[in-house]
Structure 1
């Protein structure tokens, strides 16, 4: 059956209408139906969001990482912002997508996202901000908390505990959590109040912040190695009537705490080769016991 020119024109028009309908539906799915700006969130609601962020990793999985905990963190605020059920559904659907961010500074991102949700930004824009900030916030969080704050607090607490003070672990928990919760709640308010204006500042200073925190953290870890890793040898070298103690006459004169440094670097290199921490702890215990029994440690 042959088609005439009129049939072809009608078919082309139908195809154009379908394309326009598809394009319109995509735009509609990316924008909220109710474009009215929601009422501002109160300080209590932002604090509630920061408190709920403690459960960020409660439903952690390898498909969507922290998505369940992320949605739980901001869900009451989303219900306040989106009065239209379809808008709420689309927002929740988007926030159940993959997300992986540091659990301590996540409140900065959740505050910023809630500010964008309140302003009824496009869903694709909010998604893009989440994806763009996951990496920088993860790097800053690791450098600030794991490489800086934790070693400093643990070092102070451990030094008191080694002297027999029961206040050592208590001081460690107090110092770490005062800084942790102060930043968690403070970043929630800062992220919400700053909104998207904080993005250029964060992106411009991410490397500087991470680099500075890494330097401080590495310095603290180096001091902890010298203070708390104890390793010395009792071996001596007899040359005629001369007796040379390897530890005091050789190693200590080359560099104090040379053996602890060498052992720490050995453990680090094994970790880089995917040795599990449990195996390394076991090897350390065996090495110490055997070395003491044989008499060279």
Structure 2
């Protein structure tokens, strides 16, 4: 009897499981917050992805063989934007529940993670984050205590609203949702990128300050390098050049911690040598 039960347990189960409830989907949405908890350079978000989706897989597959195969597939390399991952989770869970072909499920997961990673960066990291953060920083500089509170509330209302709504939409729509958003994906990404770059440009001009405190003497004439040379070429030239240099190093996979250290050393060395203007503006 035990042998028959074990043999049955090893067989593939083609019976469809009941649909996930709203409560279960909400639970999965909260688990998706741990997507990057085990981030590594071999499988990126693979471990966090499996952790996030595991209760849904256990609901879809009632025998060990099916569950084992599914878990093994979902432990593979995975990397996307953490705020939009629930959309992929919903699609994959719908396919797992319907016992779709494993190769098809892998293909959908891999095909979606790249585009949504780019769209998420444009929407959240290049648009929402600098926009809300810039407004909050401006309020905080003026002494308004509501600045950081506003940032936390507004950013997370949009963040969690997107996360959970995409979980419900992705699961209910199943694979048909891909065709619905495929046509507009590039337009959304391009528009959000343009807005984000504009905001970032404004933030660079507003918050990144590099003032050269150096003068050249030509007999009785004294030339201010900052005002007479750099600002005459282009106001804010040095902040722009330095920001682009940091961006270039980031694209070259340089560690952000190293870039922060370089920035600190650059400022200290420049102030020590009397080349860069130090201190805080009294009007700030």
Q: TM-score, normalised by structure 1?
A: 0.79
- Which one of 151, 165, 169 corresponds to residue 172 of structure 1? 151
TM-aligned CA deviation for residue 273 of structure 1 = 4.7
Give the equivalent residue in structure 1 for 2:61: 82
Give the match for residue 289 of structure 1: 268
Are 2:197 and 1:224 equivalent residues in the alignment? no
Residue 39 (structure 1) aligned with residue 39 (structure 2): no
Q: Which residue matches 2:102?
A: 123
- Structure 1: which 5+ runs fail to align? 1-31
Alignment of 1:252-267 (within 5 A): 252-267=231-246
Query: In 2 relative to 1, CA 162–122 (structure 1 residues): closer, same or farther, beyond 3 Å?
Result: same
Does structure 1 residue 50 correspond to structure 2 residue 44?
no
Distance in 1 (alpha carbons) for counterparts of 2:109 and 2:257: 35
Name the residue aligned to 2:182. Answer: 203
Taking only aligned residues, the RMSD between alpha carbons, in angstroms, comes to 2.4
Distance 2:63 2:250 in 1: 52
Is 1:67–2:46 an aligned residue pair? yes
> Would you say the 8 A contact 1:136–1:203 is kept in 2?
no
| TM-fit CA distance, 1:230 | 1.2
Question: Which residue number corresponds to residue 137 of structure 1?
Answer: 116
- The Cα shift of 1:47 comes to 0.9
Deviations 1:135-178 (A, max 9, x none): 11221122222222221122122222222333333222222211
Deviation at 1:81, TM superposition (A): 2.6
State whether residues 104 and 184 of structure 1, in contact with CA within 8 Å, keep that contact through their aligned partners in structure 2.
yes
Moved over 6 A (4+): none
Q: Which residue of 2 aligns with 1:194?
A: 173
Match in the other structure for 1:113: 92
Structure 2 portions without partners, runs of 5+: 1-10, 277-284
State the 1:62 CA deviation.
Answer: 3.5
TM-score normalized with structure 2 length? 0.82
- Which one has the largest radius of gyration? 1
Q: How many residues were matched structurally?
A: 266
Q: Say if 1:279 and 1:121 are closer, same or farther in 2 by CA, change over 3 A.
A: closer
* Superposed displacement of residue 237, structure 1: 4.3
Give, in whole Å, the separation in 2 of the partners of 1:273 and 1:74. 33
Q: Aligned partners of 2:46 and 2:265: how far apart in 1?
A: 42
